[in-house]
Homo-oligomer: A and B are copies of this chain.
Amino acid sequence: MSRALLNQKTSSRRARRRDGRRIGILRAAARIFRDRGFAESGMRDIAEAADLSPANLYHYFSGKDEILYFCQDRSLDLMLNALARSRRGSDGLAGRLRQVLRAHAQAVLDEVEGGAAHLAVDALPDPLRRKIVAKRDRYERGLRRLVIEGGRRGEFVDCDAAVTTRAMLGAINWSATWYRPGGEWSASAVADMIASYLVRGLTAPTDAERIRER
């Protein structure tokens, strides 16, 4: 094996190890943020929970702002990836929308990116906050386009896409405030239930249902 290739392998292994370590830290940080709230959590608490010295923690993250940013940025990447996949899909809009909402809920409920960290956008200092808000807006626009497209094709009921999209975002984001890992349902089961419920609300009721609802 050439020396260059060997170096490359070593450095990519090192990068993987570093990433793995960062994920471990995020998991510990998410737990602390959830238990104490972001404002009350210190780097010292996070280091302790991640079984690191504070100095070692600073080797991976410059501060808790960077940890929070990393959590939110990862969540949004997962959500935007699901959106990109849904655009390439060929099946009905309901199925595609359900996949996206499930990925979103999963990101919110996940032990690593999820929980309090997902919602604490306002806790970020300004340049980081602006980046997250822009990314979040991109996601919302993409979701709204799916709702509009489903309406155009007659797969979804006629509704205000902006209001309905925000109702969806709310139902999912709010789950960070009540879901606790280790309870009756896994994160993935809850994500499934919420996504199915939210998609059902867009599919047109039959006449019989319309009468029953009066």
Contact = CB atoms under 8 A, between A and B. Distances in A.
Contact of A198 (B167, B169, B199, B212): B167
Contacts of A204: 209
A203 interface: yes
Interface string A178-199: 1000000100001001100111
Interface in A77-108: 91-92, 94-95, 98
B159 A212 contact: no
Contact of A174 (B173, B194, B202): B173
Nearest to A163: B193
A62 interface: no
Given A94-B212, A205-B200, A213-B94, A160 B185 contact: yes
Interface string A42-75: 0000000000000000000000000000000000
A135 B214 CA distance: 29
List 5 A-B pairs, minimum CB-CB distance, nearest first: A170-B174, A201-B201, A167-B171, A94-B213, A171-B171
Interface string A156-173: 010110011011111111
A174 B175 CA distance: 11
